[in-house]
Chains A and B, each alone.
Chain A
Amino acid sequence: MKHNIRNIKWIINEWRSHKLMLSLLLFLTLVSASVTVTFPLIIKKLLDTLQYMVERPEIYSDIGPELWAIIWLFIIVGLVKLTVSTYPGFRSLMNTTFEYVLRIRYFSEILKKDFNFFNIFRTGDLVTRLTSDITDFPKIAWFMCSGIFRSLESFTKIMFCIAAMFYLNWQLTMLTLIPLPIMMIIFYITSNKLHNSFKKNQEAISEINNQLEMSFSGIKIIKAFVCENKYKRFFTDTLSKRFKTEIRLVTLNTRIRMIYEYIDYFAQIAVIVFGGIMVVTNDITIGTFFAFYTFLSMIIYPILDLPQLFVSGKQAFVNIDRLEEIKNYPIAKPVIPAKNKLSKIETISFEDVSFSYSKDEINILNNVSFNTKKGERAIIIGPIGAGKSTILGLLTGLLTPQKGVIKINGIPLDEIDLVDFREKIGYVPQEPFLFTGSIKDNIIFGKDSVSDDLYRSVLDIVQMKREIQLFKEQDSTRVGQRGVTLSGGQKQRLAIARALLRQPQILFFDDITASLDADNEENLWNDISKQFGEITCFIVSHRLSTIRYVDNVIFLDSGYLIAKGQHDLIIKQYPEYRNFVTGSRQISS
């Protein structure tokens, strides 16, 4: 119950920003409902008039002013109805508006999240929440306007009809309403199960999307390892789980519909029996009898609409919860703007930093301390899993240390405006991620406006100029998702170009040499020295020859900083480092 109230509050909150539209809808709804009710009343009038005239054939032999009046009444009511008839269009306009607003809003929420969040929520799941949960009938967007207003319309129609029936004959009305309470009780019992079923079903949908995501992303592996059939089997299993939840839902849904339908049917039976007797005994006219019948057959659809409100409400509430879950998932360190802004980055220091990815796991970094100054190039090396990428994650504010501080110009990183800080850095991830779009789009991704000179010189630095010339469409060549249509090294170099184009003060290169040939690397460093002389660099590399391009080495092993300093010095000082470097040296030319 509390949970329902929370969701209702949520909806009301959403409505706040659309007051005008909603009032218009409310108005149109009421007009349309009242027009509908007048219709059986006019028919009653018609029948009664006709019967009166039929009984007096000597006076009435043709359509007289009485009948003309009724005809005009019909026409007027019809015209009124015609004018308000587009209001379902307004309703669906609001639906799509809600759809649009919510998608953008929650997508923006996702953009604020950190790795903790993405360790838990999978892409397929998140996509489901932002698309099918919002868009599909009868989920959030539909419910928030159409669902509610349709029910409101139905409800007012029913109320108006019942009121009119009371006005015509209260005894007969009472008799027709007898089965109502019984049905309500049955309905309440059944509908309680709904929420649960919806939730299960929605989870099944997300599961399917997750499976699809993983199978399509890993298609090459699936093909290379010839496991198409296994993946097909998994998908079949997931589908059959979904099959069950869907069937459960449908059955429940239909049952509830059924109950409502019978409420109205019983009322009609009551009208036929009791109303029939009353006509025979002359307590009511034929017109009244027929009006009752018309009212009841008219409100059957509205009556069927009402459980829809409950059903789709339950569904929408589950979906709203799923959206709110995204929003409420805590962020380790929210980005708060308008704190310290730095103009020049002079020093960067790690002071006694310890970090772990989750509380109950061992530390990935233990008491790591080091300093770097402006213009320094530091290489971070160490065995796999030593924590090198983690250090870059901490430096860029993607991760936050559990212990110790990271200071820029002596100011702790959490007191610095992160957005502003990130404007000053260029980051190349270990696995280059490119977006669908042209090569150029990808390179200028980090900047709103770019001078042609800069663009070209950056292409030059990353040694892409010649290769791009070989492409038929040059730099408007489209790269597929994640850059699938490029070679490994090309992706890496585009990612470097994207970082350099921001003209950053610090560069973070995570293992960029992994798919860069030595020739390219040599040229890259030479050009960076030439064009970005003053730039501070953090380079993670597994290629020892990179050491020749840097000032200092930070040697890391299993989360401990073992050595920091110039290669020549620490190789003498630290046997671990010496082992790591010389043990791995294969040949000497």
Chain B
Amino acid sequence: MEKKKFINFKMIKELTPYIKKERWLFLSGLTMMLITSTLRLIDPLIIGHIVDKVVPDNDIGKLYQFAGLFVTVIVLSGLLTYYQVILLSKMGIKIVTRLKMQMFDKFLHLPVGYFDHNPVGELIARVESDCENVRQLFSDLSVTIFGNLLFFLGMLIVMFLRHFNVTLLLLIPISIIIISLFLLVSYLGKFYRKIRELNSQITGIITEYIQGISIIQLFNQQKRVISILDDKSKIKRNTDARATFTEYSFWGLFGFLIETVFIVILIYLLAPQILLGLVTLGTLIVFIQYTQRIFWPLIMVSENINQIQRAFASIYRIFNILNLSSEYDVDKGNEKHKYQPIRFDNLIEFRNVSFQYKEDELILNNINFCIKKGEKVALVGASGSGKTTTISLLCRFYNILSGGIYVDGIHINDFDLKEWRKKIGLVLQDVYLFPGDIRENIRIYDDTIVDEKIFEALEYVGASEMITRLKNGIATEIMERGQNLSVGEKQLLSFARAIVFDPEIIILDEATASVDVLTEKKIQKAMDKILEQKTAIIIAHRLSSVIHSDKIIFFHNGNIIAAGTHNQLLNESNEYKKLVNLQFLSHKEAG
């Protein structure tokens, strides 16, 4: 873990804009808090006066005056506290909502690579539970601390005025407390950060296991996953327990110092003076009251500091993410072309493209090929040879290591990212459907896409039959990840999604791998029609899906070893020929 103080000024600086935005709430909350803190100083003084003035004089009229004052103070501070809490909570919720929004926004714009290495569950924890942790800081802590500090200082001042020497002496235990508080706080900081970390790990583990539940059940691995969760939870419990025990032991000590040591000092110093008539009984009462009240702000501050620490552990993690660079910043390219409409009239060129996901693990090695506008190009090759990687680069999911992809001579990094992606219709190898109905899954909440268009797309991909089978048609709800559909059905839907937007370039990564061949044949006919005007890149292991392409590019271990039409490749490449032979049933076998 990094060696860092739990609160550093950078974080505070980063937080200020959030408070600034809500400054009215903050300021009014703060003002109310300051007023109530001052009011809270008054009532011990009233008691002192009653003892010193009313009782010796037997003056009931004066008593009523003090009582009236007391009532005013209390009603006022009660009301102010109420509004203060409401206003500040509102501020806290507002700020946290904004933080969550920003986190979410940030995540949406992080490069794909980030999601390869961070489990979804941990990301959820970062947005939801880390932000929630910060809420207390704004809704209550930031101001309570001010209030309590003011209260504390106010008490000291009144005490100094009432009796200088005694107060001076009391400062010794007070400073001991403050110093040990400080030490305690910095000691506990690292625990809290660790707990946050464990918390999101646990969330991650649970998320993953819930999603892989059927595998766990089929492999009888319930015990194992439970024990993994068990281990992590146990570590969290122990860390938590250690932190709290340390903390409470200190509180006990502070309590002893304040309640016992203070009072003993007070009696020891003040009693002789009272007996000599130098100090009134009222003063002793005020001092006793105050010392007791010092305890509460300190306890409050303690809980506050505890929470602040937890909050700052979270803030640390939040800003770590907010400060990551988004995919726009990663590779800016040439600004010149950013604001021009993207034109693709001739050629997409891969020029000497090399790529690696990790240091020193070259996945693509000097790839060169081009795709003419209107062509259908197939990428084939063994599993793991780099086909999906190639199209990910075209979509700018990752940054190219060297070389470049050029569209009509312009590097794709020079385009506006979103505009470029809008040109592409993509079917991913791993189908993903959102929970929601079929309609929204296909048009992704784009209202300009009318139902007719959706039906048309479904018809093209051969899914209309399947839709008619469904009771609610395209309004059928899809469960998480489409688990209430068969895999082939899901593939068809994600296929429909890619063509409904009428993109210029269509990329199909194993789009029909889990579709039966008969359906695929039907699709192929329809596809010929829609792909007519379009450029298409098709990846398929099933060669029947690709043999009609204008060009077949044969990948092997991150290199292109052959390219050409089906017939050309059959003649030129032995590897390709072998692949073809393996895949098709000969007449004899088919009977």
Contact = CB atoms under 8 A, between A and B. Distances in A.
B108 interface: yes
A585 interface: yes
Contacts of A225: 421, 426, 444, 497, 501
B199 A431 contact: no
B241 interface: yes
Contact of A272 (B46, B60, B125, B471): B46
A301 to B, nearest CB: 7
A4 B578 CA distance: 71
Given A213-B124, A261-B78, A514-B513, A472 B97 contact: no
A96 B67 contact: no
A269 interface: yes
Contact of B275 (A62, A112, A277, A427): A62
A209 B124 contact: yes
A273 B132 contact: no
A554 to B, nearest CB: 14
Interface stretch (A16-24, A114-122, A310-318, A405-413): A114-122
Given A357-B484, A427-B218, A489-B383, A78 B229 contact: no
A565 interface: no
Interface in A112-162: 112-113, 115, 118-119, 122-124, 126-128, 130-132, 135-136
Interface in B383-434: 383-384, 387-389, 395, 397, 418, 421-422, 424, 426, 428-434
Given A50-B281, A88-B248, A96-B241, A127 B547 contact: no
Contact of B480 (A110, A123, A542): A123
A8 B50 CA distance: 48
B121 interface: yes
A545 to B, nearest CB: 5
B82 A243 contact: no
B384 A113 contact: no
Given A251-B86, A279-B55, A488-B429, A85 B591 contact: no
Given A488-B430, A514-B513, A39 B240 contact: no
Contacts of B579: 517-519
Nearest to B211: A123
Nearest to B385: A487
B213 A435 contact: no
A223 B112 contact: yes
A234 B440 CA distance: 13
A177 interface: no
A38 B483 CA distance: 65
A56 to B, nearest CB: 10
Nearest to A485: B116
B256 A81 contact: yes
Interface stretch (B17-25, B151-159, B266-274, B335-343): B266-274
A545 B229 contact: no
A396 B218 contact: yes
Interface stretch (A339-347, A418-426, A450-458): A418-426
Contacts of B206: 107, 126-127, 130-131
Contact of A480 (B117, B127, B211, B591): B117
B584 A488 contact: no
B74 A265 contact: yes
B523 to A, nearest CB: 11
A100 B488 contact: no
A273 B74 CA distance: 14
A215 interface: yes
Contacts of A185: none
Given A96-B240, A490-B383, A222 B93 contact: no
Contacts of A419: 220
Contacts of A492: 383
Interface in A250-295: 250-251, 254-255, 257-258, 261-262, 265, 268-269, 272-273, 276-277, 279-280, 286, 289-290, 293-294
Nearest to A221: B432
A242 B218 contact: no
A543 B515 contact: no
B61 to A, nearest CB: 11
Given A436-B208, A481-B119, A228 B108 contact: yes
Interface in B437-458: 444-446
Interface stretch (A68-76, A165-173, A368-376): A68-76
Given A78-B256, A131-B206, 18 more contacts: A57-B277, A75-B264, A79-B256, A88-B244, A92-B240, A103-B202, A122-B435, A224-B421, A227-B444, A243-B94, A247-B89, A257-B85, A272-B66, A279-B50, A280-B59, A396-B218, A488-B388, A547-B589
Task: Give the 5 A-B CB pairs with smallest separation, nearest first.
Answer: A489-B383, A85-B252, A384-B488, A78-B260, A584-B517
